[in-house]
Amino acid sequence: MKQDMIVILDLGSEENARLAREIRALGVYSEIHPHDIGAEGIKALPNVKGVILNGGKNRIVDGVEIDAGDLSALNIPVLSVDHKGAAPWAEEMSDRLNAISDFIFDSCKCEKNWNVENFISDQVELLRAQIGDGKVVLALSGGVDSSVVAALLIKAIGDRLTCIHVNHGLLRKGEPEQVVEVFGKQLGAELIYVDATERFLGKLEGVDEPEAKRKIIGEEFIRLFEEEARKLQGYAFLGQGTIYPDIIESGTKTAKVVKSHHNVGGLPEDFDFELVEPLKMLFKDEVRAVGAALGLPDNMVYRQPFPGPGLGVRCTGAITRDRLEALRESDAILREEFDIAGLRGKVWQYFTVVPDFKSTGVKDNQRSYDWPCIIRAVNTVDAMTAEVAQIPWDVLQKITYRITHEVDGINRVLFDLTPKPTGTIEWE
């Protein structure tokens, strides 16, 4: 391992992730661990140069006072960070950053060796050590996380990785083609491409309840992946695009499930794989930086979030093929026009929705009776709350013109002005 490490012990602070990010921004790798990991637990971690006890306003978790125990056996510097409470926030932040910088560089003598290149070479080494001469199967959705896992694994083990790309028919325009082009052709991955559009749309026919739709898409996805993976022989490992926020959240918070999100968890128990999760210690922006360094195209690495059920939750109610097509085309126009207007990367998430009702209009001097298309564009930090992005009027007008003139079945364009809450970002 090339990188020095600072261990943050969670003593009830809500700011662990922020502290880890601050330290990494200073060029030093850091990980968050539970308060009771103990000296032995810390010794088992590679290259630890110092420990920070990160306390909250008081060191109480679930009503019980906590401490980190005796760490003197480690013989490395230990720093206690507590919130002062009284000091103004900005002052506290800058004091804190200075104290942390002094601690990691002066006391712990850390080197600034946390960077993408070192991460990649360390991971390649770790992946080879974990996998040996074994084989890995990976569900490659084309999203940032699974794409970066695939690129890392290709570098580490080449053709002993097999990627399975399930096209559920609810992907955006051009996405399955890009996965085949980038992974199948450019990176030369072993890629199994399954066009399951008919199967998914068949299962979804007539289903209009949002949670029922999500459940069908999620379960069918797992079943299909399982079917394909069972055809392969001798695969002991399963690649996963788990990232650090997933781990921090599941370890420290009891997040309420507002909507059932799906990934490849939920595989049957006799489906016995060892997990390979090379991104599990990275924040999203770090994942993107690794992807860019591995040569993945910008529109894959910097793409906006896209839900697992895909266009299925934007084609509201019971999905029909013609409305799904109108949705895919309108979404492609929206993304194209946002690119032209320089809004890509500036607006956090934007997409269209085509609801299951119609209104009257005129098209080509004739009465039309068609669907509206709703534009949703939001900014957010953590997707828990979101505000509506201000999009220049002329951009909206151009998009409206193009969608109403180029997309069959659409005669109106609406702009969703609702922040979250009270709306969610998606429509279902």
Strand partners, 378: 349, 388
Residue 108 CB, nearest approach to ligand XMP (Å): 37
- For 12, other C-beta atoms within 10 Å of its C-beta total 19
The answer to whether residue 12 forms part of the interface with ligand XMP (CB under 6 A) is: no
Contact call for residue 312 and ligand XMP (CB under 6 A)? no
Q: What is the DSSP string of 341-389?
A: TT-BTTBSEEEEEB-S--EEEEETTEEEEEEEEEEEEEE-SSSSSBEE-
Tell me if 308 contacts ligand XMP by CB under 6 A. Answer: yes
Q: Which residues are CB-neighbours of 124 under 8 A, at least 6 positions away? A: 152, 155, 156
Identify the helix (H) or strand (E) that includes residue 29. strand 29-34
Q: Nearest approach, Cβ of 420 to ligand XMP (angstroms)?
A: 5
Distance between CA atoms of 134 and 128, rounded to whole angstroms?
A: 9
- Nearest distance from C-beta of residue 309 to ligand XMP, angstroms: 5
The answer to whether residue 309 forms part of the interface with ligand XMP (CB under 6 A) is: yes
Binding mask 237-276 for ligand XMP (x = CB under 6 A): ---------------------xx-xx--------------
- With CB under 6 A as the contact rule, the residue among 383, 401, 405, 418 that binds ligand XMP is 383
Closest Cα to residue 187, out of 137, 231, 148?
148
Least Å from the CB of residue 358 to ligand XMP: 25
Using CB under 6 A, count the residues that bind ligand XMP. Answer: 14
215 in contact with ligand XMP (CB under 6 A): no
Residue 175 makes contact with ligand XMP by CB under 6 A: no
Beta-strand pair 349-353/366-379: antiparallel
Work out whether 426 is an interface residue with ligand XMP (CB under 6 A). Answer: yes
Residues 403, 385: Cα–Cα separation, whole Å = 29
Find all residues with CB under 8 Å of 152, minimum gap 6, and list them.
Answer: 120, 123, 124, 127, 278, 279, 290, 294
Question: Nearer Cβ to ligand XMP, position 83 or 203?
Answer: 203
**Cis status of the peptide bond prior to 278, with omega within 30 of 0:** no
Report the residue number, 49 or 376, with the smaller CB distance to ligand XMP: 376
Residue placing its CB nearer to ligand XMP in the complex, 236 or 388: 388
DSSP track, 70-130: --GGG-S-EEEE---SSS-HHHHHHHHHHHHHHIIIIIS---S---HHHHHHHHHHHHHHH
If the CB atoms of residues 235 and 302 are measured against ligand XMP, the closer one turns out to be 302
Q: How many helices (H) and strands (E) does the chain have?
A: 13, 16
Could you tell me the smallest distance in angstroms from the CB atom of residue 266 to ligand XMP?
Answer: 13
**Residue found under tokens 């609801």:** 355
Under rule CB under 6 A, residue 420 binds ligand XMP:
yes
| Least distance between ligand XMP and beta carbon 143 (Å) | 8
Assigned token pair, 337: 């026009």
CB closer to ligand XMP, 10 vs 426: 426
Nearest residue (CB) to ligand XMP, 141 versus 400: 141
The CA distance from 148 to 183, in Å, is: 11
Interface residues for ligand XMP in 139-168 (CB under 6 A)?
none
Stretch that binds ligand XMP, among 14-22, 45-53, 353-361, 419-427 (CB under 6 A): 419-427
DSSP state of 184: I
Among 349, 352, 400, 411, binds ligand XMP (CB under 6 A): 349
Task: State yes or no: residue 196 binds ligand XMP (CB under 6 A).
Answer: no
Binding site for ligand XMP (CB under 6 A): 258-259, 261-262, 305, 307-309, 349, 383, 420, 424-426
